[in-house]
Amino acid sequence: MKSVYRVLAYLIAAGVVLQMADIAYAWFGVLNEVDSGAVLDENFEGNAGHALHGILGMTLIPLLGLVLLIVSFFAKVPGGVKWAAVVFGVIVLQVLLAFVSFGVPVIGLLHGVNALVLLGVAAMAAQKANGAGLPMHGGARSSGTRVS
């Protein structure tokens, strides 16, 4: 369970990196399209980069966050539930910031910063699950008990 927790947390961190990459690809693609005569208006529904960003950000990463939180109840990772909850909360915040930003683009700055926060807390959660099998100073079990 501990290694599942760790892998999920790393997957979320990797997802954040992929999101940074695909959104850069998306908007460079737009600039390229506009150069060749495309018009950017309400009819514009985005390119493959936007689609990927939407699917990862709206579905896959929140789902990973939810699974991480559920796994944390059983994984007996010290502080694991707390960090999984933080990761999930930061994901929810990230989605909300995105939707607020459509109306108030300046909030997009926070969406960008919060992405790095998510990368940080996901990596931190993964770190907590490192060293599975090593003796923890009063760690895994008591942490598990605290939660239950």
Partner 1 sequence: MGVVAASALLGPLGWMWHASLVPDTYSVMEMGHAEFGGGPGGATAAHQHDHQHDHGSVAHVGGSQPVDLVSLAGPRGRPADVRETLVAREEQIRVASEHTVEGYTLNHDSPGPEIRAKRGQLVEVRLVNESVSDGVTLHWHGVHVPNAEDGVAGVTQDAVQVGQDYVYRFVADQTGTFWYHSHQDSHEQVPKGLFGALVVTPAEPSGPSDAVDVLAQVHTYDGRRTVNGRVGASRVPAEPGARARVRVINTDNGLMRTWVSGAPYRVVAVDGVDLNAPEPVRDTAFALPAGGRVDLELSVPTDGSAARVGLGGATALLLGPEDASAPPGAEPSASVDLLDYGSPAAVAFDPDEADRRFTYDIGRRPGFLDGRPGLWWTINGHTFPDLPMYVVSEHDVVRVRLENSSGEAHPMHLHGHHALVLSRNGRPVTGSPWWTDSLDIDDGDSYELAFVADNPGIWMFHCHDLPHAVEGLVTHLAYEDVAEPFVVGGPAGNRPE
Does residue 87 interact with partner 1 by CB under 8 A?
no
- Which residues contact residue 82 at a Cβ distance below 8 angstroms, ignoring those fewer than 6 apart? none
Residue pair 107/101 in contact by the 8 Å Cβ criterion: yes
Q: Mask: binding to partner 1, 49-68, rule CB under 8 A, as x and -? A: ---------xx--x---x--
CA–CA distance, 79 with 89 (Å, rounded to integer): 15
Number of residues that bind partner 1 (CB under 8 A): 25
Does residue 42 interact with partner 1 by CB under 8 A?
yes
CA–CA distance, 120 with 106 (Å, rounded to integer): 23
Does residue 69 interact with partner 1 by CB under 8 A?
yes
Does residue 27 interact with partner 1 by CB under 8 A?
no
Does residue 35 interact with partner 1 by CB under 8 A?
no
First to last CA, the chain: 17
Q: Least separation, in Å, of the C-beta of 58 and partner 1?
A: 6
Binding footprint of partner 1 on the chain (CB under 8 A): 33, 37-45, 58-59, 62, 66, 69-70, 73-74, 95, 99-100, 102-103, 147-148
